[in-house]
Amino acid sequence: MSLPQTRTLLAELKLSGSLARLDQILEDARTCQWTPEEVLDALLQAELDHRRFRATQNRMKTSRIKQPSSFEDLDKSASRSLTRAEIVEIQSLAWLSEGRPLVLVGQTGVGKTYLAQAVGNKACAYGYTVFIFRSPTGWSSATRPGSPDRFSSSGNP
């Protein structure tokens, strides 16, 4: 099979991750003298990485997270009622896999939104579907039947 035919088949099968990396993988295969199994493995891994990346991007888009917050950038010097141990527990996402919700309540300017967005970013990267909203208007739209913002039980990986 020729290289143009391979490209056509990859495109037809919608294997865009493999298609995008095909030239680099073939070049690496030539230089490192890969076996056919190693080439196939690299193509499949490229596709899997691409699909995971796209899925994470889609989850991020639908989560309504407005900024790229992260736990690494969290201001540790800010005065919060959360202890370091509680922040570590929140960051671990164990509460999420156990089905427990996270509700952040506090005074204005203490970093609730930033922390929620950091949690949301990490959860999206770990395969969870996230929806972030601010109350009081968020509660009414998230519970109204037929609302596009309505909570659903689907979304965990």
Domains and CATH numbers, the chain: 3-62 (no CATH), 69-143 (3.40.50.300)
Residue type, 7: R
> What six digits make up the tokens of 18?
């493999």
Does the structure show a pLDDT above 60 at 142? no
Which of 13-27, 46-60, 112-126 has the lowest average pLDDT?
Answer: 112-126
Q: What is the mean pLDDT of residues 115-136?
A: 85
Strand blocks (E) in the chain: none
Per the CB < 8 A criterion, the answer to whether 78 and 109 are in contact is no
CA distance 20 to 17: 5
Whole-structure pTM value:
0.66
What are 59-110's pLDDT values in tens digits? 988 888 888 788 888 776 666 678 888 888 999 999 988 988 888 887 777 7
CB-CB contact of 71 with 84 (8 Å): no
